[in-house]
Amino acid sequence: MCGLQEFVDAYVNYVFQISVHEWYTAFSSGFLKVCGGKVLELFQPPELRAMMVGSSSYSWEELEETAIYKGDYSATHPTVKLFWETFHEFPLEKKKKFLLFLTGSDRIPIYGMASLQIVIQPTASGEEYLPVAHTCYNLLDLPKYSSKEVLCARLTQALDNYEGFSLA
């Protein structure tokens, strides 16, 4: 029995320490160059994580309330109303997919959803076109759709076929 425990211990040590030592050392060195020193002592681990990767406390209503509209779009425009109706009916994973599509990240900044300041603007293209996201500006080009069904289908198609920056 003792041999088995030794094997398990050696295997765990290899997987979690020895095999990743080179990469962890490089990561740690780079991280500490950027974020090292006394500043690290100011944060608890959850706070540091939030600073590095953003928050996962989603407030979808806040996203809607702080949205900015351009052109003839406003919060009361029929297409915008259809958009938010459709969006709020999406399951969490699809909403996160939309966030990734629009901003390049499925996380929200540490200051919350309001700090995203998404912008929705109309396009001259017809309803057969998909919505287009400009991730650097949190800008959504949203064609004027005639029905919730068409809007949902086009938005879903855009989200399902989104490939990000293709850096993998």
Residue carrying structure tokens 């003839």 = 72
Report the largest interatomic distance among the alpha carbons of the chain, rounded to a whole angstrom.
Answer: 75
Selecting among 2, 35, 136, 152, the annotated active-site residue is 136
Q: How far apart are CA 61 and CA 68, in angstroms?
A: 14
- Rounded to the nearest angstrom, the gap between the alpha carbon of residue 142 and the centroid of all alpha carbons in its chain is 19
- Known catalytic residue: 136? yes
Q: How far are the Cα atoms of 83, 147, 157 from residue 153, in angstroms, in the given order?
A: 11, 10, 6
Q: Is the dihedral of CA 69, 73, 76, 77 positive or negative?
A: negative
What positions carry a catalytic annotation? Answer: 136
